[in-house]
Chain A
Amino acid sequence: MSGGPAVRVSIESSCEKQVQEVSLDGTETYVPPLSMSQNLAKLAQRIDFSQGSDSDEEGTEAESRELEWTKQEQEEDEGTVKFQPSLWPWDSVRNNLRSALTEMCVLHDVLSIVKEKKYMALDPVSQDPAVTKTPQVFQLISKKKSLATAAQILLKGAEKLSKSVAENQENRRQRDFNSELLRLRSQWKLRKVGDKILGDLSYRSAGSLFPHQGTFEVIKNTDIDLDKKIPEDHCPLNVQIPSDLEGSAYIKVSIQKQAPDIGDLGTVNLFRRQPKTKPGSQAWHLKLEAAQNVLLCKEIFAQLSREAVQIKSQIPHIVVKNQIISQPFPGLQLSISLCHSTGEKKNQRASPEKTKPDDHLYVLEHNLHQLIREFHKQTLSSVVMPHPASAPFGHKRLRLAGPMAYDKAEINALQQSEGLLEKIIKQAKHIFLRSRTARTIDSLASRIEDPQIQAHWSNINDVYESSVKVLITSQGYEQICKSIQLQLNIGVEQIRVVHRDGRVITLSHQEQELQDFLLSQMSQHQIHAVQQLAKVMGWHVLSFSNHVGHGPIESIGNASAITVASPNGEYAISVRNGPESGCKVLVQFPRSQAKDLPKSDVVQDAKWNYLRGLYKEVHWSRMEGKNFVYKMELLMAALTPCP
């Protein structure tokens, strides 16, 4: 197919002209046949040059190919001849061909020049890497590095977070701040102020009016090395209590007497033990409880000292520093003191304290705590209780005062309310009186063996009242000698004695009064015993008197006397018993047995022999028998004639 540049192009015209139009007269107008150049131009316009010319080098070849192609086209499209108006039909072909030619010429020139190597040598251009490639590589490296550092930071942060989470999970088994806080919250009042968590350990919500703030701060305990093993007792939560509530405090109530006869009034020797750590409780809990206790003690003491100053009493109460001194009875001193020791001092002082006898009145200390709580409750209930807006909500009995027409004294009695100090002094008085009564009875019982004294203390007591039952009996004759049974009601200021027959005697707090009373009762008991014995022995009671009006005057009470006669009336025994003078027993013999009786001229008749004779005193101390009633029984038996 290839050949020289001159390619023969054979062009044939169509055999028949095409009819353009048929006129009305029947004449056909033919389309004038295209000239050769016109036809070529028309065909050439249909050629897509960009498709055909694939390489510049083969320009001529392509040209020939194109021409050939156009020829084929021309042959194909022979049937459908189109008229394409074109100003310069070969224009695009020419242009393309020309530019192709130009390119080819240039290429040819260049190639020839290069080939010759005479004028010009082709060298590869050394491209500078710093200028084009390097910035991007540099950038890439730097970005990579930056990303690596950023990733490292992120990883480090993530590691830290996961570590803390794992730690939390591990801690959860033991102790964790939040669970501790929850436990704390369930037992104490907490609130958040700013960043701090503050708690309240005052008794204000329970009705206390003490102005102390009583706030503590909850601190997260973070001063522990995370890498080291956490000790078992480590608590992540700590509390900080006000410095004035640190340590431990207690109220000490004691009674001192100038004379030493009072002995130890402290009921039991209870050593103050260090509070033992309960297994379930936390360190903070103990700390808070101790602080609360300090606060309560302070409140009690403040209340007591305020009352001590306000109350007018005959002997003024003295408030010195942390001690209140009062005199409930003459010669007796009640001291209430607030002992507050901080932790360090306590350890030093602990050892001498144990050796020292404890003179605490624990009961009173306990009662003080109870009283202040009662006081709290009172204020709380009076505040909270719904009440009419128009008037204060007074006492119920006071509201009844109008309808019941109370007089002034009764209303005064209603309105009187006792303070803490008064109550505690009353209690102290009662305790003192009670212990003194017990001591009096016991000392009498040990001093006097005949008759016996038995005391039975009642187990049902009040803080202001307790009772003891005193029985005076004779040993071995308990069943027949039950005459003296005394009920001693020990109050605050006085002792009321209730006899078996219902008589009531009121004794003051003086020890001597009770002692004297008991002595006189004992002496009466002996006479009563003789009376009972006479009944059992079949003797007749001739006379009986609890209070004999003649004879020597006793300094304590009165002497009592009895006269009994033997069953057949021959003998008579007369007993006189005084609390101080002791007993005196006389036996009267029948006249017939009296040998030394002077014969009377007047009384000659034998019947007068049945008259009573003279009295003779019995040497009572020389009588056989272990006690008075036994001796009396023996005497009576001896004087009773055998049947």
Chain B
Amino acid sequence: MATQRVLPQSKETLLQNYNKRLKDDIRSILDNFTEIIKTAKVDDETQVSRATQAEQDHYEMHVRAANIVRAGESLMKLVSDLKQFLILNDFPSVNEAISQRNQQLRSLQEECDKKLISLRDEIAIDLYELEEEYYSSRYK
């Protein structure tokens, strides 16, 4: 499909927002991972005391790992958001579904009409005979 549909402003910004979220999350994963690796290096020169440094490193790694996980979950959320966006804004497929349903219902209607008409005709014939029988019988 070569035709690029013109999206309204809000949709455009929304899509850009999705793009930004994707990039941010991936960068966050990468950055945090790099930082963890960096922190893992043992170096002797520190300004603060060893224990403080260790605690800080520990804490930093903790947070960074959690950040990676968060970014991953955010990516999952992004996937689900994208799915939702597609479902809610995929008008061509909606139109297709509508026309398909329309066709289906129309054929159903036609079928019902046909059946009803044939039923009516049959009943009318039977009714005529029954009426004749009824009115000429003694049990009225």
Residues on A facing B (Cβ under 8 Å): 135-136, 138-140, 142-143, 145-147, 149-151, 153-154, 156-158, 160-161, 164, 178, 181-182, 185-187, 190-192, 197, 442, 445-446, 449, 452-457, 459, 475
Contacts and interface: CB of A to CB of B under 8 A. Distances in A.
Contacts of B73: 157, 160-161
19 contacts: A138-B50, A142-B54, A143-B57, A146-B40, A146-B54, A146-B57, A147-B61, A157-B72, A161-B73, A178-B80, A178-B84, A186-B93, A187-B97, A192-B84, A192-B85, A192-B88, A453-B135, A459-B124, A475-B136
Given A138-B54, A151-B65, A153-B66, A191 B88 contact: yes
A186 B93 CA distance: 8
A135 B50 contact: yes
Given A154-B69, A157-B69, A454 B131 contact: yes
Contacts of A452: 135-136
Contacts of B80: 178
Interface string B80-98: 1001110110100110011
Contacts of A446: 140
Contact of B140 (A135, A146, A185, A442): A442
A130 to B, nearest CB: 11
A456 B72 contact: no
Given A146-B61, A178-B84, A185-B90, 7 more contacts: A150-B65, A151-B65, A154-B69, A158-B72, A178-B80, A445-B135, A453-B135
A156 B50 contact: no
B50 A139 contact: yes
Contact of B62 (A138, A146, A164, A192): A146
A149 B54 contact: no
A628 to B, nearest CB: 16
Contacts of B50: 135, 138-139
B65 A154 contact: yes
Contacts of A197: 84, 88
A90 B131 CA distance: 154
Nearest to A144: B40
| A contact patch SS | helix
B131 A457 contact: yes
B98 to A, nearest CB: 8
A459 B122 CA distance: 10
A483 to B, nearest CB: 17
B58 interface: yes
Contacts of B127: 456-457, 459
Contacts of B101: 186-187
A459 B88 contact: no
Contacts of A454: 131-132, 135-136
B107 to A, nearest CB: 17
A160 B24 CA distance: 21
A470 to B, nearest CB: 10
Contacts of A142: 54, 57-58
A459 B68 contact: no
B62 A153 contact: yes
A185 B88 contact: yes
A143 B54 contact: yes
B108 interface: no
Interface string B94-116: 10011001000000000000000
Given A147-B36, A149-B58, A442-B140, A181 B135 contact: no
Contact of B131 (A146, A147, A456): A456
A315 B94 CA distance: 50
Contacts of B76: 161, 164
A135 B66 contact: no
B140 A459 contact: no
Nearest to B54: A142
B42 A157 contact: no
A178 B97 CA distance: 16
B61 A186 contact: no
B47 to A, nearest CB: 14
Interface centre among B76, B87, B101, B138 (most CB of A within 10 A): B87
B84 A145 contact: no
B126 to A, nearest CB: 11
A103 to B, nearest CB: 34
B15 interface: no
A131 to B, nearest CB: 12
A158 B72 CA distance: 8
A454 B128 CA distance: 10
Contacts of A457: 127, 131
B53 interface: yes
Contacts of A186: 93-94, 97-98, 101
A142 B56 CA distance: 10
Contact of A455 (B53, B64, B120, B135): B135
Interface centre among A138, A143, A178, A197 (most CB of B within 10 A): A143
Contacts of B31: none
B84 A154 contact: no
B116 to A, nearest CB: 11
A149 B62 contact: yes
A181 B64 CA distance: 35
B39 interface: yes
Interface centre among B54, B93, B132 (most CB of A within 10 A): B54
Contacts of B85: 192
Contact of B121 (A153, A158, A459): A459
B30 interface: no
Contacts of B61: 146-147, 149-150
Which 9 pairs, one residue from A and one from B, show the smallest C-beta to C-beta distance? A157-B69, A142-B54, A446-B140, A459-B124, A150-B65, A186-B97, A153-B65, A146-B58, A150-B61
Contacts of A146: 39-40, 54, 57-58, 60-62
Contacts of A145: 58
A160 B40 CA distance: 25
A136 to B, nearest CB: 6
A474 B136 CA distance: 9
A185 B90 CA distance: 9
Contacts of B140: 442, 445-446
Contacts of B66: 153, 157
A149 B65 CA distance: 9
Nearest to A164: B76
A150 to B, nearest CB: 4
B69 A143 contact: no
A135 B49 CA distance: 10
A457 B128 CA distance: 8
Contacts of A139: 42, 50, 53-54
A150 B13 CA distance: 36
Nearest to B129: A456
Nearest to A185: B87
Contacts of A156: 69
A185 B69 contact: no
Given A138-B54, A154-B69, A158-B72, A459 B136 contact: no
